[in-house]
Amino acid sequence: MKPEEFLSLAARWANAEPAVSALVLVGSWARGQNRPDSDMDLVILTDEKGKFLENPAYFSRFGEISRQNAEHYGRCTSLRVFYEDGREVEFGLVDGAWADVPLDAGTRQVLSDGFRVLVDKAGIFADIQL
């Protein structure tokens, strides 16, 4: 699956998933500076983190998973998913407060490194200025 196809699929899923408030691409892919070996970083704003963390196969809807592991970064719990086709996607699960203005230092650092809003159901990112 090509990267833009994956992002389109992820955006359609996020729009249809009631537990997701926003989906944001961050990092090198958002800046357009990704390399062939760059992982793709997606931030999912949700008040139902457990829904995604309790079911290890949840993200298999985007392809066959070869392995995955959870990582914790302050307010963010990430699921790093390695797909059979070679894609590596980090799904960062955060609650809505992650994007509250004024931004905390961790959120500001992530967004300052580049971000592209794919889905924003409640206009959470409309007031964010870096």
- pLDDT tens across 38-62, in order? 999 999 999 999 999 888 778 999 9
- Provide the pLDDT for residue 74: 85
Q: What is the pLDDT of residues 8-42, one digit of tens each?
A: 999 999 999 999 999 999 999 999 999 989 999 99
Residue among 130, 123, 26 at smallest CA distance from 73:
26
CA distance linking residue 68 with residue 56, whole number of Å: 8
- pTM of the full predicted structure? 0.94
pLDDT surpasses 90 at 130: no
Q: State the pLDDT confidence band at 114, using cuts at 50, 70 and 90.
A: very high
Could you give all domains of the chain from N- to C-terminal order, each with its CATH number? 3-127 (3.30.460.10)
Strands 40-46 and 88-94: parallel
Q: Where are the beta strands (DSSP E) in 1-130?
A: 20-26, 40-46, 65-73, 76-83, 88-94, 115-120
Kindly give the pairing relationship between strand 20-26 and strand 40-46.
Answer: antiparallel
